Structure 1
Amino acid sequence: MSPLAEAAVSKVQVLVLGGGPGGYVAAIRAGQLGLDTVLVEADRLGGTCLIRGCIPSKALIHAAGEFEVLRRAQGDNPLGLKVTGEVAVDFAQTLRWKDGIVDRLSDGVGGLLRRAKVRVVRGWGNFRDARTCEVTGPDGAIQVIEAEHVILATGSEPVALPAIPFGGDVLSSTEALALPAVPETLAVIGAGYIGLELGMAFAALGAKVTIVEALSRILPQYDPALSAPITRALERAGIEAHLDARATGFADGRLSVERAQGPALQIPADKLLVTVGRRPRTEGWGLERMAVDLDGPFIKVDDRCATSMRNVWAIGDLVGEPMLAHKASAQGETVAEIIAGRRRRFDPVAIPAVCFTTPEVVSVGAWPEPGPEVITAVFPLAANGRALSQEGGDDGGFVRVAARADDHRILAFAAVGRHVSELSGEMTALLEMGAVLEDAAGLIHAHPTQSETLGEAALRALGHAIHV
């Protein structure tokens, strides 16, 4: 008799496949609502965002920023800060600090799941049919779980270039965040948010960084006004960016690059970071046996995150753009409440997106095409006291707003500058609440804070700005 035939079958109300920000939130909320819930995860709890992405990368970016402050204090410093002698990075300690944060948060997720009475099954899940999952544990033992409801939350994975597969000195963001030392030279393929965030961090830590982008500008998901300050920041950091350029091969520490204009290049690189995108993780866990419809590479869902198979749900990167952790978490909570009998839909007005470069970029809502039916206004951070007091007013940063001309309903916000990611919460709240320009302009913001810029932008859109 096969091990599968011998395996006992567990029956549960909810089975969640994947312990990332979508899956663990779905499981916790289901447990809170009294549903008998099992979470299946082969890796550590927290998923890509917590273990290999958002959290460790932001920790590295912070460490790089602190080191850059020390280096600037070696010379003329407008703040009067002076550092004598050499400054250096103990990168092993940096990694220990970063890993400590990840460990603390991952352990915290485990504690939250236990408190919600969610059973965590460690192992690789593989579906025999839409609601029957075989889980192979680390020791090879197999469990079979039958569920009334299944929530698919398997996330996404980095995309490799066919001519330059991952391995050795060719890194995805996962390997880049675990390098034992800062490379002397680093080439980055892809000038989206992941490539720029990590490229700028490693440059601040002392690496010579070169970026190669196939399109004609960096951060193509944002408009040129938002990416222009980042372009200037790359120049200040000594990062060379080759645009309209295509990487064709990597061998013997050299990246071969063809350009739309100009001769081909051979770029020296101890390490090569490939950040050309991510794709949903749809292979290896039995999707083909679940009879759910696809939408291109993604699983097709409706506004409840329901798939074409009854009582099978899908959330997060698996179901399409934007591939963001906070979208996955919101969908996970929504699905758990639907399963528990509540009336819910996933229909947000706006999902904030942030690029944690230096300076940062934030965008909330779809920026409208210009025309007489739209009002737009920009407020420069150079006119904000808090920004200036944090050395954030002289890099070309700004906050902008767009609203309908007829009723002043706010359509979108965007900003670029130091610390502007912290404005995303108020931006999103104003859009979700259907605020008009007068609402934003009438809020009393604490002074001095950068949140004042949101009210100032709204005032400017109304034609009576105060501080500009």
Structure 2
Amino acid sequence: MAESASAKEFDILVLGGGSGGYAAALRAVQLGLTVGLIEKGKLGGTCLHNGCIPTKALLHSAEIADSARESEKYGVKATFDSIDMDAVNKYKDGVIAGKYRGLQGLIKSRGITVIEGAGKLASQTTVDVEGTVYTGKHIILATGSYSRSLPGLEIGGKVITSDQALTMDFVPKKAIILGGGVIGCEFASVWKSFGVDVTIIEALPSLVPNEDASIVKGFERAFKKRGIAFNTGTRFQSVEQNDDGVVVTLEDGKTFEADLMLVAVGRGPVTQDLGYEEAGLTMDRGYVITDERLHTGVGTIYAVGDIVPGLQLAHRGFSQGIFVAEEIGGLKPVVVADLNIPKVTYSDPEIASVGYTEKAAREKFGDDRVETHEYNLAGNGKSTIIGTGGLVKLVREKDGPIVGVHMLGSRMGEQIGEAQLIVNWEAYPEDVAPLIHAHPTQNEALGEAHLALAGKPLHG
């Protein structure tokens, strides 16, 4: 609901209405606390309007396009004509609008006071919203992130970020994507399915460099098979725009031409000119530094989500928002640990992972204290039916629990729920092996991998 002129004091002021901010607000009112939720844009933030939801809508359209092209392989005669971006955007925007209305209704029904406008931290207990000062016994900073560029690389014209890519009304013939992380690979997957000639430029030695080496190898092989080109291990140098598009030059002298270039080199924290330094918060490269309980060390100010160093994931911010609300409410919640937060790259194929990679586990426990097993999806009936390859990889502390699960394949993100339970509950392979996994499902692959690591492999 809109805030009234007299409602200026709250138990909690939340600066930012994205995933972390609105989750904190919703949990806080459940605990009987009054909440003022400050947002200059739309409730739901980047995830709902410019990130998670719209990109996944595009990815679903891309999946439909691929299904139409490949339908004859499955005994269905269909003709693929073209991509209608007006219709794609109408579908995407409809999904966003429906979720937005739902969130607005939920916030209103819970009695949260929504304060519209740009807020700035004015002191340890106050936030100035365009000239009006609000007071909170506690303040939660949740101002989110923005699409980052490289030093000296200006966004504009035919050099775009994901913000512009999500609203494009045409399909380019040829595109260069600067950055081979999650965002870059997801757009590469979409555009390839839309018929675009795509090349990814990544300075590091591989795509999705934070994932397990076995997954990366399989992922790159799958992208090559799809015809998605990538150049890794060489840094970007410059881009020139002309009437035909862009010419991109790398430090090794290689050049690439395309209709446009998408800059997908990560996201930066939205913290500049918001009064954080003036209030005494410790900052590092724009990020707000907190302790493990997300307290900033200043007064009763907390920070959550993308402005806190670590994984930049909507569900991380969401969980942190709930955590801080419960912390303020005196419930002493369990700390949200980045290591055990599930991650999914929603491309084709998908990557889903949680916990230690094999490399990180060996660094943590020692080479002789780590066991792994890889289960090939070729042995999984449902994966064969839907036409996907890939693998499930388990990382185990020797004679101990599973410390990492890594999966590659179409729709494998849907299996991350069980995987994160296994890792977070420190389950042993012997604990999971007796559990019954329905047949035929891709979920069986997770079960079979644990059977194998428990010493009783069936199909692999």
TM-score (norm 2): 0.93
Preserved CA contact (<8 Å) 1:303 1:345: no
2:348–2:409: 8 Å Cα contact kept in structure 1? yes
Counterpart of 2:76 in structure 1 is 81
Which residue number in structure 2 is paired with residue 380 of structure 1?
376
Measure the CA separation in 2 of the matches of 1:128 and 1:68.
52
CA contact (8 A) 1:327 1:351 kept: yes
Letter in 1 for 2:346: F
Per-residue deviation, 1:70: 1.2
Asked if the contact 2:248/2:257 (under 8 Å) is kept, the reply is no
Q: Distance in 2 between matches of 1:417 and 1:239?
A: 16
Matched letter for residue 449 of structure 1: T
Partner in structure 1 of residue 191 of structure 2: 202
> Normalization by structure 1: what TM-score?
0.92
| Inter-partner Cα distance in structure 2 for 1:293 and 1:254 | 40
Q: What is the aligned partner in structure 1 of residue 355 from structure 2?
A: 365
Percent sequence identity over aligned pairs: 36
Deviations 1:57-82 (A, max 9, x none): 01101101111221233xxx431222
Tell me how far 1:234 sits from its aligned partner: 2.3
Using the TM superposition, name which of 240-249 and 185-194 deviates more: 240-249
Q: Which moved more, 1:341-350 or 1:310-319?
A: 341-350
Contact kept? 2:356, 2:395, Cα under 8 Å: no
Look up the match of 1:11.
9
- Pick one of 423, 430, 440 that aligns with 1:431: 423
Contact residue 272 and residue 286 of structure 2 kept, 8 A:
no
* Equivalence for 1:309: 298
**CA-atom RMSD in angstroms:** 1.7
Maintained 8 Å contact 1:334/1:345: yes
1:336-357 deviations in whole A, cap 9, x for unaligned? Answer: 1111121124243611111111
- Match for residue 161 of structure 1? 150
Distance 1:295 1:431 in 2: 31
Q: C-alpha separation between the residues in 1 aligned to 2:405 and 2:210?
A: 15
Amino acid at match of 2:126: T
Q: Is the 8 A contact 1:292 1:308 kept in 2?
A: yes
Which of 458, 465, 468 in structure 1 is aligned with 2:450? Answer: 458
Q: Deviations over 1:148-193 (max 9, x none)?
A: 1100001111111233211222111111011111112211101111
- For residues 336 and 61 of structure 2, the distance between their equivalents in structure 1, rounded to whole angstroms, comes to 37
- One-letter amino acid of the structure 1 residue matched with residue 77 of structure 2: K
Residue in structure 1 matched with residue 126 of structure 2 by the alignment? 132
Q: Residue in 2 aligned with 1:389?
A: 385
What are the ranges of 5 or more consecutive residues in structure 1 without an aligned counterpart? 1-6, 137-141
Structure-2 separation of matches of 1:69 and 1:9:
53
Q: Would you say the 8 A contact 1:230–1:358 is kept in 2?
A: no
Please name the residue that 1:399 is paired with.
392
Partner of 2:208: 219
Structure-2 separation of matches of 1:59 and 1:183:
19
Structure 2 counterpart of 1:381, one-letter code: L
> Aligned-pair distance for 1:256?
2.5
1:293 partnered with 2:282? yes
Q: Select 1:344's aligned residue among 333, 339, 342.
A: 333
Matched length: 446
Structure 1 counterpart SS, 2:367:
coil
Residue from 133, 137, 143 that aligns with 1:144 = 133
Query: Equivalent residue of 1:245, what SS?
Result: coil
Match of 1:78, SS state, is helix
The answer (yes or no) to whether the contact 1:306–1:313 under 8 Å persists in 2 is yes
Among 30, 45, 62, the alignment partner of 2:28 is 30
User: What is the aligned partner in structure 2 of residue 65 from structure 1?
Assistant: 63
Per-residue deviation, 1:289: 2.1
Bigger CA drift: 368-377 or 423-432? 368-377
Distance in 2 (alpha carbons) for counterparts of 1:444 and 1:292: 50
- The residue identity in structure 2 corresponding to 1:31 is V
Partner residue, 1:241: 230
Q: 2: CA distance between counterparts of 1:43 and 1:347? A: 27
Give the C-alpha shift of residue 438 in structure 1. 0.8
The AA in structure 1 aligned to 2:396 is A
- The aligned amino acid for 2:397 is R
Is the 1:440–1:454 contact (alpha carbons within 8 Å) kept by the matching residues of 2? no
Query: Per-residue deviation at 1:296?
Result: 4.5
Q: Secondary structure at the match of 1:288?
A: coil
CA contact (8 A) 1:24 1:109 kept: no
> In 2, distance between residues paired with 1:163 and 1:303?
35
Q: List structure 1 segments (4+ residues) > 4 angstroms apart after TM superposition.
A: none
Which residue identity does 2:39 align to in structure 1? E
Displacement of 1:9 = 7.7
Q: How does 1:215-294 map to 2 (within 5 A)?
A: 215-247=204-236, 248-252=238-242, 253-260=245-252, 263-265=253-255, 267-294=256-283
Secondary structure at the residue paired with 2:190? helix
CA contact (8 A) 2:323 2:335 kept: yes
Structure 2 unmatched ranges of 5 or more? none
SS in 1 for 2:330: coil
Q: Distance in 2 between matches of 1:455 and 1:238?
A: 32
Tell me: CA distance 1:354–1:435, structure 2 relative to 1, closer, same or farther (3 Å): same
Letter in 1 for 2:335: F
Contact 1:20 1:45 in 2 (8 A): yes
Q: Following TM superposition, by how much is the alpha carbon of 1:131 offset from its aligned partner in structure 2, in angstroms?
A: 1.8
Query: Which residue of 430, 438, 442 corresponds with 2:434?
Result: 442
In structure 1, distance between residues paired with 2:65 and 2:320: 38
Separation (CA, whole Å) in 1 of partners of 2:74 and 2:184: 31
| Contact 1:127-1:285 at 8 Å conserved across structures | yes
Task: Report the Cα offset of residue 255 of structure 1.
Answer: 2.4
Asked if the contact 1:19/1:40 (under 8 Å) is kept, the reply is: yes
Moved more, 101-110 or 14-23: 101-110
User: Could you list the per-position Cα deviations for residues 119-165 of structure 1 after superposition, in whole angstroms to 9, with x for gaps in the alignment?
Assistant: 111110012212211112xxxxx422011110000111111123321
